Structure 1
Amino acid sequence: RLDNGACQGCHQAGSTAGFHFIGLDDKTTSPLNRIEVGISPHLHADIQRRVAWLHATADGKEPNRFRPLSFAPPATWNDADEIAYSPAEMAMPCLMPEDAARFGATWQCGGGTVCTPLATVSGVRTKLAQCLLPKDSESMFSGHPCLTGSIASNPAQPFNDRYTITGQIAAFAPGISRAGYTCRPPKIGVPAGIAYRGCNDKDRSFAAFKTGKPMPNEICGLVGGKKFDTCVATNNFDQCLGGAVNRGNRPACSADHFCREDYMCQSLPPDTPGIGKVKDIGFCSPTYFIFQMRIDNHATPWSGAVRATMGAGFGAAEAE
């Protein structure tokens, strides 16, 4: 999908760190490091197009040969000439109205969100944006982007593009608490920054998750931080996962509700108290947190003699 535009066409644009068929982990993988959703948002959306193609072919009809942008939401493919996109979900990609007008069929943001650009880029004509909550929204949740920025392109040396933070759009609490949302910066490994609130007792018991009700936007999942990064560098994988992973609110995700760009859906350990309330629901982590998707300089855990204790779930971690 590189035709979507350079790095974003592969690493983002509906993929997961450049992959679409990721797969799920088996029981030999540490329960603190398992993938909950094994496909990309693009593949999830594209399956409906492929099914429509097969039905048309089986019926002897001409299939719709249109290929949507890879970051487009799922669509209903009614016939050879009609495409009805579903509204884009929270924090999913969108096109700004002035740019969408230059395309054919496009989509709208759903769930009370507004198409909002997070970054300006020199030398680029089309603005990619995300469906975000309005500023000061009472529906804020952990994981929502909180920073805007500017990218200065270097055509001669694209690897020397420079990113500068230009403003803050959400999560204005001055520090981490269990009540208000603070903005965690990209330098800790969270692209575009994330709104963050610590887990309270209700969060830990998954009290907001009700049978038959819509899935809440946030869930008390797992968080790492500086202690995690420092520990992983020692190559003692067992110690890192058992002692440096704590509870913290993250966006909720599932096979029908995907994470935003540069994040992926991670599983909760099976021994998490109250796990029965959130069956088939995970939490969004930066892709680097999943060792199978490692894209930075963390030590490769299986290259050394020390291995994770496969039976050690979240019960081994310290208190927040």
Structure 2
Amino acid sequence: DEFLARKIISWSTFGSARQANHPFTQLFQPKEFASLDYSTLKLVRTPEALVERLDNGACQGCHQAGSTAGFHFIGLDDETTSPLNRIEVGISPHLHAEIPRRQAWLRATAEGREPNRFRPLSFAPPAAWTDAAVDYAPAEMAMPCLMPEDAARFGATWQCGGGTVCTPLATASGVHTKLAQCLLPKDSEKLFSGHPCLTGSIASNAAQPFNDRYSKSGQFAAFASDISRTAYTCRPPKIGVPGGIAYRGCDDKDRSFAAFKAGKPMPNEICGLVGGKKFDICVATNNFDQCLGGAVNRGNRPACSADHFCREDYMCQSLPPDTPGIGKVRGIGFCSPTYFIFQMRIDNHATPWGSPV
């Protein structure tokens, strides 16, 4: 009972890397588990991996790794929500990957067989489940991955798919595992709006995690100096886009969804909605319904759907139903920073540590 939590607070952005979301890293040194036998374990092969496994299984660890805005089942909006402010995908990447595991468990139980009791890390991709084996699908674009030095601490993990490579985006002091995602190789000609473009580091403040400080360490994509409809520029985190985003303005073909063809793979970017100064003013008024319509413009963003998720700190937003050409992209949304969805904001909520347990 010593380590059971009665109340926790999880922290974002870059939640999977934040020290405050790694409670056991702060409690234990890996050397304390050096005498254990890891040879028969499926996932944990080293003391460092054991501590990371404990972190990932903690409330805040699970809810900030493979989640959407810290949640796994958000649900969808109804017609009372502004069409400029609706969620397209109401579950997290973790829940999407978890459903096949639960289906396999239920099927085995119903058939009187012992189910596969293995639990992957919460940010693992979907897998094919049998009674004794777990076969991971390759992680999709911008989904989490383990850098080789981190993966070496574990047993069988997964690979990046679709011509992507595991790329570190952020490190945090006091945390062993890097935040990494499956991204395009450097100088790729397939760059798209919303692709990360910056690396950075987080100086952790263990006593006051809200005072963690992020600093940019480098840029690896989207080097155009200005916004245009032909080249990609790197938009900085200070405008609310963690990891930076490659950005290209929408041209006429983008606005008409010309790249979206029936029966063809979904393109990586879509002409969605973007904010600006008017959006920031709208946020300040706290009267969203009256000001939202004049506060957004069209701009390219990553395309997303129920099968293709947004990267950490972003979520899949719906296009308004009156968008010209919307019939071509039914079921497809665009990735927005979570703060863009007003019902996902935490402004003026009760301070959690001042409330009853």
| TM-score, normalised by the number of residues in structure 2 | 0.80
Whole-Å separation in 2 of the counterparts to 1:206 and 1:223: 16
Structure 1 gaps of 5+ residues are 299-320
2:97 to 45, 48, 70: 45
Aligned to 1:85: 136
Whole-Å separation in 2 of the counterparts to 1:100 and 1:17: 25
Aligned to 2:116: 64
Letter in 1 for 2:249: G
Is the CA contact 2:116–2:130 (under 8 Å) kept in the aligned structure 1?
A: no
Aligned to 1:242: 293
Aligned: 1:173 with 2:224: yes
Shift of 1:227: 1.7
2:200 to 149, 161, 167: 149
Whole-Å separation in 2 of the counterparts to 1:236 and 1:159: 27
Aligned: 1:273 with 2:321: no
2:253 to 192, 199, 202: 202
Whole-Å separation in 2 of the counterparts to 1:125 and 1:283: 32
Letter in 1 for 2:180: A
Aligned to 2:166: 115
Shift of 1:156: 3.9
- RMSD value over aligned CA atoms? 1.8
3-state SS of the aligned residue for 2:285? coil
Shift of 1:238: 2.9
Shift of 1:8: 6.9
Change (3 A) 1:7 1:260: farther
Count of residues paired in the alignment: 297
Shift of 1:33: 0.6
Task: Indicate the percent of aligned positions where both proteins have the same amino acid.
Answer: 88
3-state SS of the aligned residue for 2:101? helix
Shift of 1:152: 1.8
Whole-Å separation in 1 of the counterparts to 2:203 and 2:77: 39
CA-to-aligned-CA distance 1:116-142 (integer Å, 9 cap, x gap): 101122222222310011111100000
1:233 to 284, 287, 290: 284
Letter in 1 for 2:109: T
Shift of 1:18: 1.3
CA-to-aligned-CA distance 1:41-70 (integer Å, 9 cap, x gap): 100000000000001101111111111111
Aligned to 2:45: none
Is the CA contact 1:171–1:181 (under 8 Å) kept in the aligned structure 2?
A: yes
Change (3 A) 1:8 1:136: farther
Whole-Å separation in 2 of the counterparts to 1:181 and 1:119: 22
Structure 2 gaps of 5+ residues are 1-9, 11-20, 22-54, 350-357
Shift of 1:231: 2.1
3-state SS of the aligned residue for 2:293? helix
Letter in 1 for 2:164: T
Letter in 1 for 2:301: R
Change (3 A) 1:154 1:294: closer
Change (3 A) 1:157 1:30: closer
3-state SS of the aligned residue for 2:200? strand
Letter in 2 for 1:4: N
CA-to-aligned-CA distance 1:68-105 (integer Å, 9 cap, x gap): 111100000022x2100000000110001121121122
Q: Which of structure 1's runs of 4+ aligned residues deviate more than 4 A? A: 5-8
CA-to-aligned-CA distance 1:264-313 (integer Å, 9 cap, x gap): 10000000000000010000011111111113569xxxxxxxxxxxxxxx
Aligned: 1:216 with 2:255: no
Change (3 A) 1:17 1:166: same
Change (3 A) 1:6 1:240: farther
CA-to-aligned-CA distance 1:135-169 (integer Å, 9 cap, x gap): 11100000000111011223344333221111111
Whole-Å separation in 2 of the counterparts to 1:297 and 1:226: 21
1:22 to 74, 77, 82: 74
